[in-house]
A = this chain, B = another copy of it.
Amino acid sequence: MTNLTDTQKEILEFIDQSIQDRGFPPTLREICEKFKFSSTNGARYHIYRLQKLGHLDVEPKTSRGVKRVAKGRKKTPSRFNYRLPILGRVPAGPLNLASPDVREDEIGVDPQFFGSQEAEPELFGLRVNGDSMINAGIFDGDVVVVRSQLTAGDGEIVVARVEEEATVKRFRRMRNAIVLEAANPAYEPIRISDLGGIENGQNVGIMGVVVGLIRAI
């Protein structure tokens, strides 16, 4: 991919630098000065080249008329800028993504890494409380990355609301019921007649599917 000569790469860098520092791209003569070219055509040659290679947009007859172009699979800046809101441990109490005051923190993540292709993925973080999912590699204090959705497939790890408490469990679709089971034999599975239904007086719903995990050691 980096089939560019050293000079070409340096010129792109210089253009970026100029845009960053001064707010606009350099002129041909500024490039000449920087690279000790004695003729504007030295710079002009490289600009022409870089345009042909698709790294620059050039507006003819226009001063400073070069523009860096995001090339092919070049990383979208927003890809790295997504801020994942981390909700707190939420031991009891309602888990409400919309209310920003329950946000404990936020961290920058790469949504594509967790399978999200959308520009504005519906991801949020949730700090896990307890060791009920220890056999699934989810430890106390870990942050699980959750994609908001109301349904889940068999075997997926979900964030479920049981009464007014949020828990992380593995979602099992049985013959006549749905079971939320912990990945820890010390915990009893929760049996539900249907998704969102009530059995034994339980009020249950799925809040999202766990698509990733982030841990600071």
Contact = CB atoms under 8 A, between A and B. Distances in A.
Interface string A67-110: 11000000111011111000000000000000000000001111
B107 A107 contact: no
A49 interface: no
A148 to B, nearest CB: 15
Question: Interface centre among A59, A210, A213, A217, by most B CB within 10 Å?
Answer: A217
Nearest to A66: B23
Contacts of A137: 134, 137-139, 142, 215
Contacts of A25: 23-24
Interface in A119-142: 134, 137-139, 142
A63 interface: yes
Contacts of A142: 137
A125 to B, nearest CB: 10
Nearest to A2: B100
A80 B83 contact: yes
A12 interface: no
Interface size class of A (residues with CB under 8 A): 35 or more
Nearest to A143: B113
A212 interface: yes
A216 interface: yes
A19 B67 CA distance: 10
A53 to B, nearest CB: 17
A70 to B, nearest CB: 11
Given A24-B64, A115-B216, A107 B108 contact: no
Contacts of A19: 23
Contacts of A51: none
Contacts of A67: 22-24
B108 A80 contact: yes
A139 B213 CA distance: 11
A55 to B, nearest CB: 13
7 contacts: A24-B66, A76-B81, A80-B80, A81-B108, A115-B216, A212-B214, A212-B216
